[in-house]
A and B are shown apart, each in its own frame.
Chain A
Amino acid sequence: MPDAPPLLAVRALGKSVPGPRRLFRHLDLEVGAGELVAIIGESGVGKSTLLNILAGLDEADEGSVAIDGIDLSTLDETARTRLRRERIGFVFQAFHILPYLTLRQNVALPLALVSPDYVAASTRAEEMLEAVGLDGRGDGYARDLSGGELQRVAIARALVHRPALILADEPTGNLDPETAARVLSLFADAVRGNGAAGVMVTHSDASAAIADRVLTLGAEGLVERRGA
């Protein structure tokens, strides 16, 4: 899709941490609709920090981030919160499924934060649960599920509100290799099938292999790995 504007556009991004150390600088990245990008790198290079900046949870020292054409630097905190609510989906290493909500409510939570329409939110959540292979489990709770199932619920939640951008932080870090492979496949299909831009940070080369592009994060920015 060469002519379509990128859903995520990062220009000359730089971030340092307290002290003399600089995490990264001159970081450029574009991710288009239906594209999944994996970012790998050593511990401490700033993969999670980059993800937080993309989500508007942290601020860069220099450069810009635009999501779906909206420059984050033009938004105040309230607007960034709204942007996350409406345009971004998240998948975490530790799943973060709320134990006191049903699985349907967990999946529907991003919709419930936008509209009080319970029926619409529930219907869409059921659709998403079905899409991740958990149909009929909506009334259950987190304690009833395995790690892989929990991450599938998290993926359903990340996609339920049809976000433009999906950010995943070590989405298979807590799973065994077999389950991890199934979940990653589901995640990649979901990103592509929904026409969203996906960014996944990971330690694992095996996980990164599922992405359309694999980028290595270092002090001088992102370097594309050839032949991935």
Chain B
Amino acid sequence: MSMLVPFGPQHPVLPEPLQLRLELDDEKVVSAIPVVGYVHRGLEKLAEQKDFIQDTYLIERVCGICSFQHSMAYSMGVEEIMNIEVPERANYLRVIWAELHRMHSHLLALGLLADAFGFENLFYTIWKVREEIMDAMEATTGARVMLGACCIGGVRKDINAEQAKFVLEKLANFEKDFKRPAEVILGDYSVKERLCGVGIIDGKKAYELGTVGPALRGSGVAKDHRMTGYAAYGKLGFEPVVENDCDCYARTKVRVRELYQSCELVKAALAALPEGELKTPFKGNPLGEAAVRVEQPRGEVLYYLRGNGTDKLDRLRIRTPTFANIAPLLNMLVGCGLPDVAVIILSIDPCISCTER
């Protein structure tokens, strides 16, 4: 006999409100129905009421974790409509802050995952390492998460030689401090018992369901929007991280490897940082439409913008990576045990408030 168990919206492992109605047969999940909409803020509508320059700050607040990439995607959209060419230095600076954001987001996700399977000590240790990255961001922009560094036509902040040295110091600290937690999360028997062979989704199915980000790359599909070389990624020799095990462990491994990769990308971007202007001045209002994709820590985000020639946008549509990952999540949950549900949810690194905007 099957029964219905509501998982969330208030649950100790969920950082944000998401409800999954689980149909259980004894302890096995037969199906899951998602219920979202608890934290809808109407940001897309609000963005139509403010002018398109003010929207840059508003859009940054869509997500409280990967905020820089949201403002970057929005700015890239407006730049595409208005044919604004971004200076080379601004492109490199965007990559630096975007990768720092990816690092702090992945560390946050790994910590929460450790917390989800009851490994509190690992959670604290990883979040302690995360502070190094937060310091690097605060020292360069003046804020920890809402950097406010991206604007239409370029960037608002600069990184001078002293700040670059500080960032490199912090990255060296990260590499030194993260070595131990990485060994534990990838090598410890108890962690492997909880992650290996749990939440399996094969590459073909993952691709068909529209999975994005580390969840897709953990299933052996080499798809990462940074491969297209937007901003300065094309010049930094980017290769996607791929794992083939298709389970929670593979997705965790992708995140751990991406952390080191992002660290190298920031170092390379700092070394190759060209001199020049920070932003291109522009006049007028956007007229036309654009669709822009940017790779966020959780996967690909899609921005659709339509301008009507006034200072207010006609329409702004955001499709966030977690929204794309909900359908594969429901697929992963089928057949798993109730104790594994929390681990599987955290393995896609859900960000509910940016899904509901």
Is chain B found bound to chain A in the same assembly?
no
